[in-house]
Every structure is written in structure tokens, then in C-alpha cells.
Structure 1
Amino acid sequence: MNDAVEAVNKNIKKIMEKMTVNYKDWHEMLPFALLAYRTSIRSSTGATPYSLVYSMEAVLPVEVEIPSMRILAEMARAFNKKVRPREFSPGDLVLRKVLHVATDSKGKFAYKYDGPFIVKEVFDEGAIILNDIDRNENALPINVVALKKYYP
């Protein structure tokens, strides 16, 4: 076990030699050298020591200021985990969210949804064309986010 500790100390010493200007400021650079050692990939395991201990990669201080692809992918994964897929087909009854507040609305007691409407056509990118119950077509497509299924 002493050989492994000596190997780690040797690697940290090499990092410190590259970072320090003179021997008097080594204690100021030690946290940065340890961070560099703990977040660099080892060839023997193919992982960083940090990821082996905490089962996740460390977020470097520079990545907080300038997001890397890894951080952006993690944010996208966290966002997509909360997304509920909504599938509609022609003929479904739906309610449309009221997106504007009328001047004569009843405040918090106003209706949140209009409808019901009938789905006429569904597009791939999440747009839907609706018909009224009287089969009058609405000209503008509506995003799936603003709809929910209606169950009479």
C-alpha cells in the first residue's frame, strides 16, 4: 500500500513543480494541484479518482463560467426527464389553454381552458390544427403544450 501512496505523492509533486514559481508558494497551489490530480483520467482505470468515489464527474470551476458540452448535456437530460410526451390523433377531443387574459375576466376564477375542440391534423413537430365542435377550422396551428385531452 505504501507504493501506491508514494506513486500518488510523486504525481502530485510533479504537478506542483509545474505550477509553483518558487518553493515558498507551494501551500497556495496545493488545492489546485489536488483538484487537477483528482479530476484527471487514470490510464489504469479509465476514470478519474473523483468519479470512482462519488459516481459522477466533478464540475470544474471553469465550467461554471463557460458551460461545457458535458454540463449542457446534463442540463438537457435533467430537463427532458420532466417532459411528458403528449400524443394526439385526428378525431381526439382536446381543451385549448387560454393564453390571454381578457379585460372582463374574473381574475383567478377565470377559465383556464377553452373547448372542447376536435383535432383535425397532427404535424411531426408538435403542431396541431383544430376544428370547433361545429367543424369550423381554426386557421392557425397550435402547439401541443397548450392542449390537453378532454374526456366527456
Structure 2
Amino acid sequence: MEVVLPIKEEIPSMRVLAESKLEEVKWLDRLTKDGSSVQQRMARHGQCYQQRMARVFNARVRHREFNPYDLVLRKVLHVAPNSRGKFSHKYDGPFVGRETFSGVAIILSDMDGTENAIPVNADALKKYYPE
């Protein structure tokens, strides 16, 4: 008994092509007819892969929301020349959030009320809970 591939079935790989022993003319003819569907399938696969990776990434993201008058600590983003190496402080603060811009940037002020003009990215902040 001999196995025959149906005409409507696409060629999934080169191995299947080699096993089916199609003539080159027939193979090129099928490839040009099904070429667009192969490209569409590859595009769909890429989209599904991106969606799957985004879903996995977003599942692990911790959503943080800052409101005005929240107490926050600001991450020290530079190393001072007189710092104590790995024993230096990682965060400054506490600060009071004065104004938030769509939860991404926050204008901070010191505890005594001195307002900083430059907004700070929310990635460099964490909430402060006094004891």
C-alpha cells in the first residue's frame, strides 16, 4: 500500500518533501500556490509567540500605583565619590509625592515642603511605610 498526500495539504517541511519524492516541477508549482499561506502561517505564529511572551511577562509585573501625598523612597541612581561601596544607602527619603502624571512620573517634595521641580520616574520609587 502506498501513501499519497492529498493535493490540498500543504508541505510542512523539507523532510516530508524528500519522503514524498515529488518532482521538482510539481513541488515548485505547489510552493507558489501555497507560498502565501506559508507566509501567513509564519506571521500568525510570530503573533502568537509575541502574545504568549507578553502574557508571561505581564503576569509577573507588580502593578504599583502612586497617589498624591504618598510617602515614597527614591532610589539612588548614582554612586557618590565618598560612598561606602556596597554599604551605601540604596534609597533616599522619605519624600512626599505632590503631583502624579498618569502614574508614570511623580513630582516629589521633601518632608519640610521644599518641592523639586524635576519629575521622577515611578520605576525609581517605592512606597514608604513609617513604623
* TM-score (normalised: structure 1): 0.58
* Bigger shift: residues 75-84 or 115-124: 75-84
The percentage of counterpart residues that share the same residue type is 52
Q: Which residue of 1 aligns with 2:100?
A: 122
* Aligned residue identity for 1:136: T
1:113 aligns with 2:91: yes
Residue ranges of structure 2 left out of the alignment (5+ in a row):
12-16, 23-40
What is the DSSP-based 3-state SS (H/G/I as helix, E as strand, rest coil) of the residue aligned with 1:74?
Answer: helix
Give, as a single letter, the amino acid of the residue that structure 1 aligns with 2:112. D
Q: C-alpha separation between the residues in 2 aligned to 1:92 and 1:28?
A: 71
* Secondary structure class of the residue paired with 2:93: strand
Q: What is the alpha-carbon distance in structure 1 between the residues aligned to residue 18 and residue 112 of structure 2?
A: 81
Q: Which structure 1 residue ranges, 5 or more long, are not aligned? A: 1-8, 30-59
- Kindly indicate whether the alpha-carbon contact (under 8 Å) linking 2:103 and 2:122 is maintained by their aligned counterparts in 1: no
| 1:26 paired to 2:9 | no
Offset of residue 14 of structure 1: 2.5
Higher relative contact order (CA 8 A, sep 6+): 2
Question: Match of 2:27?
Answer: none
| Aligned-partner Cα distance in 1 for 2:125–2:64 | 9
Alignment of 1:1-152 (within 5 A): 13-14=5-6, 25-26=18-19, 68-152=46-130
Instruction: Show the counterpart of 2:33.
Output: none
Per the normalisation by structure 2, the TM-score is: 0.66
More helix by share: 1
Shift of 1:94: 0.6
